[in-house]
Structure 1
Amino acid sequence: MSTILFSKSFLHKITTIIRNFWWTGIQEDNPTNPIPFRSWDDICQSKDNGGLGIRDHEVVNKSLIIQAAYNIATEKSPILTAVLKSKYFSNKSFWTANNKGPRSIFWSSIMQVKKELHNNVIFQIQAGNSIWSSPWCPIWEDIHNHLLLPVTTNPLPSIVSDLWLPHSHNWDNNLLMQTFDNTAVNEITKLHSVPNNNQDILRWKLANNGSCTTKAIYNHLTSNQIINLPSQGSRSISSHTNQILKKSLENEKPHFYH
């Protein structure tokens, strides 16, 4: 689940097996077809929303691959990152690597989720990373198009810290206006840096602490899948019953892949 982005049809088959086992268990003699008393989508809702918190395997799979991509981008697995870099992006950064040419199924899976990762992370600027090959600002991918050419008064900056005033973490506005157009200057000056010399940190924007965990990714991917259960009918659940379920489960520790 953490190395291959499986097809939807394959994951659907797994879900079908789990769903059937959930409703029928093991039947050795005279097996019968399962009778689902609740919608599987209802059961997969969070406990706070009246479900049982059973994980959606397709989303779990994607969350684990995004987590793997994050680990490569931040070099949390140095040996793996070094091997992949030498093979797939030796002259580029992870963020500018493409999905062309022969590739392993693992690398292909990483490339499929890279856009999702890119859309939900942001660099916490500290030391100042590569200005050209890392998503340090909203317009980093086409920042070359915002250069004022020819740049004759100053050499082109190679890292973010080259755009700061000497011995500080404050933007050199004069240098910015001599180097970039107004659109780029406005975007860059909106950014704030942490005044220390540690390496820039890639943060998950949707987590309060900025930590990119599989659980945080899963919560984001399922945030648009929340189903409000009806107050009447076979699928309804009263607020009183929901509170009882929450109370009975609040001391349980949920199991999750990390």
Structure 2
Amino acid sequence: MSEANTRSGTAQCELDDALARLDRVRVPADLFGDDEAEAVRRYRRLARLVHPDATGGRTRDAFIRLNALWRTYRRGDAAVIATRRRTYRLDGDPISGDLAELYSARSEPSGGTAPHTSRKGRAVLLKMPRDPRDGDLLEREAVALRQLPRDGDGKYLPYVPRLVESFRHRDASTGRQRQVNVIAALGSTAWPRSGGRSRTASTPATRPGCGGGCSSPSASRTARASCTARCSPTTC
């Protein structure tokens, strides 16, 4: 193989990798990181790779998305998702699974921090499907998580994640919508009991049936969705 062919193959691999990273990104911080100087280097490298002038116009959409993500990142509000009820401030990199990604976040009531609430907010996990077309799986999970505390056996509540809210979120940089389930972080799950009192669920480190079946390639889509609902928010 000639040197020219080798260079061409390497350039194509770099372009394919850049396009794949742009396709996977959920929030700008996933792409650019936390360090400002490194973020600038990453942006310039990606811009060079996906610039339409370098690809005969084939990567115009990717270049537009890259710049939208960069503008959002520079504004500093990319890691905030707000609903009518609450504001969620995402913190750190997501935990990736086969079907969804979990984002650690802090929650506070929309409009400001409520009295007697830590200024840092309550710890939660935001769960989003990797593919927006899998939003129906999270919708079913939300239905199950709402129903189990009402209709299930109370002694199993420590095994049930507490759903804070469920909503659809439009990515400002891409226009794509994803279903989001917000789940209380482990150790902060309080379940009501008769008489208006509450009980804090002490969640075991290992949940029954969470030995890896959620990601089993032989499991059906429905079975994986059921396992995801049962085992979340662990990384099973």
Question: What TM-score range do you get, normalising by the shorter chain?
Answer: under 0.3
Higher RCO (C-alpha 8 Å, min separation 6)? 1
Higher strand share: 2
TM-score (normalised: structure 2)? 0.27
TM-score by length of 1: 0.26
Bigger CA radius of gyration: 1
